[in-house]
Amino acid sequence: MEKIELKDAFAEFKSQKNIDRPTMMGVLEDVFRTQIIKTYGSADNFDIIINIDKGDCEIYWNREVVEVVEDPNTQIAINDEALDDDYEIGETFAKKIELKDFGRRGILNIRQNLQGRIMDIEKANLYNKYVGKIGEIFTGEVYQTWAKEVLILDEDGNELRLPKSEQIPGEHFKKNDTVRAIIKTVEMRNTTPYIVLSRTSPEFLEKLFEQEVPEIYDGLITIKKVVRIPGERAKVAVESYDERIDPIGACIGVKGSRIIGIVRELRNENIDVLQWTSNTHILIQRALNPAKISSIVVGGEDEKIKVYMLPDEVKKGIGKGGCNIKLAGMLVGKEIEVWRELPQEDEEDAEEDVLLSEFDDVIEGWIIEKLQSIGCDTAKSVLACTPADIAKRADLEDETVAEIFDILRSEFEE
């Protein structure tokens, strides 16, 4: 390695690597000191002077001038030809070590060690950079797509990953697409930073609202809770500390101008914005809107919340595929069950009806629970639907639904 090569290497590290001067000098000195120990056995009596700006390195081997040498590494004889007549016993002789003195293998070791150390520092810097950005929105360009994840590059060419599980269902990306996502996790895998992005987390939706709604960014409106079924529906509970500000209207914007951009970003995910309250009953009513609730029964800490509705309101409350009722439960932190409440004029019919729980000897318990979760808690409420509707909403096999219908019909046959 000639001096000019070392100078070029220093210049590259200075211009391309995000490493501060003290750290760079410390690394270089450590690398050379390591090679000195390998070559000479010890580095205690060596001086290493590094000038990054000039791109050179000076190494001096300090030995005591003695009459008889006992340790060649620390001593030099007074009659050694390397000394001139000006040296006396007890003085220190400093010999400048050239890079070529380390030999070809030694120079190769220096270069490889230096590259490895610089790479480790870059990885640590990258890790620290993104650890501090967890929870922030990242915008990058798709570099490559695979079946299980998408590889995205930042402006410096660093790799970030968007796993399939963190993509909104139905999303498809191609090379050079611009993608927005939240930085979810940053961890070290085999000494390499592994940065995971997410487009399905509630925090991503929350950050999108912060970007689109100035009142949220300024702290005038607070997002209390966000729950999502990615690609289907989301509920965002907000609260305003200024009674002059309508939190729901501010989030939606004039004619939906603010929320429309968020909906498009989330691939047309339906977003319900509702006003937060610490009152569980009111929060459930707001979450299940537009369905009208007859009554709510909140049990113990581990018990489900029972919501009673008239038959015409059940479908509204449950929502498509049970999505609405599930999100409402996530919002209040407890599972919600919908129960049909028959109107007064139908009391006679109600007396003739039979609760599904009465069939636990012929219908498995988990099946009854699934039927109850979609608002069908009696035999007639099941029979009032089509088998195909029950199979879809309760996520049951067609054969299972057919057997249930046979059992329930037989109950009312004369």
Residue 5 has pLDDT above 60, yes or no: no
Q: Is the pLDDT of residue 229 over 50?
A: yes
Is residue 199 within 8 A of residue 167, CB to CB? The reply is yes
- Tell me if the domain spanning 277-341 has CATH number 3.40.50.300: no
pLDDT class for 351, splitting at 50, 70, 90? low
Res. 97: pLDDT tops 60: yes
Q: What digits encode the pLDDT tens for the residues 297-344?
A: 887 667 788 888 888 888 888 888 889 999 999 999 988 888 887 655
- Under 8 Å CB-to-CB from 301, ≥6 apart: which residues? none
Asked if the bond preceding 230 is cis, omega within 30° of 0, the reply is no
Pick the CATH number of 201-276 from 3.40.1030.10, 3.40.50.300, 3.30.300.20, 3.40.50.11540: 3.30.300.20
Give the start-end residues of each E strand in 175-294.
178-189, 192-198, 221-229, 233-240, 270-275
Contact status, residue 142 vs residue 175, Cβ threshold 8 Å:
yes
Among residues 210, 367, 377, the alpha carbon closest in space to that of 309 is found at 377
Position 4 pLDDT exceeds 50: no
**Residue 259: its pLDDT value, please?**
95
| pLDDT at position 86 | 82
23 versus 233: the higher-pLDDT residue is 233
Given this model, what pLDDT does residue 193 score? 93
Report d(CA 159, CA 141) in Å as an integer.
10
Sketch the domain layout of the chain as residue ranges. 3-130, 132-199, 201-276, 277-341, 342-414
pLDDT over 60 (residue 350): no
What string of H, E and C letters represents the secondary structure of 364-389? CHHHHHHHHHCCCCEHHHHHCCCHHH
In whole angstroms, give the CA distance from residue 315 to residue 263. Answer: 24
> What string of DSSP letters covers 8-70?
HHHHHHHHHS---HHHHHHHHHHHHHHHHHHHHS--TTEEEEEETTTTEEEEEEEEEEESS-S
Q: Would you state the pLDDT for residue 347?
A: 47
Give the CATH class of 342-414. Answer: mainly alpha
pTM as predicted = 0.69
Locate tokens 């009674």: which residue? 243
Q: Are 219 and 240 in contact (CB under 8 A)?
A: no
**CATH architecture of residue range(s) 132-199:** Beta Barrel (2.40)
Question: What pLDDT, on the 0 to 100 scale, is given for residue 315?
Answer: 85
Residue pLDDT, tens place only, 380-390: 888 878 888 88
Percent of the chain with pLDDT over 90: 38
What is the arrangement of strands in the sheet containing 221-229, beginning at the earlier edge strand? 221-229, 233-240, 270-275
What gap in Å lies between CA 327 and CA 53, rounded to an integer?
61
Q: 3-130 adopts what CATH topology?
A: N Utilization Substance Protein A; Chain:P; domain 4 (3.30.1480)
The number of angstroms, rounded, from the C-alpha of 48 to the middle of its chain's C-alpha atoms is 45
> Fold match between 201-276 and 277-341?
yes
**What pLDDT is stored for residue 16 in this prediction?**
54
Mean pLDDT, the chain, integer: 86
pLDDT at position 52, please?
A: 66
243-267: pLDDT as tens digits: 889 999 999 999 899 999 999 999 9
The three-state secondary structure class of 150 is strand
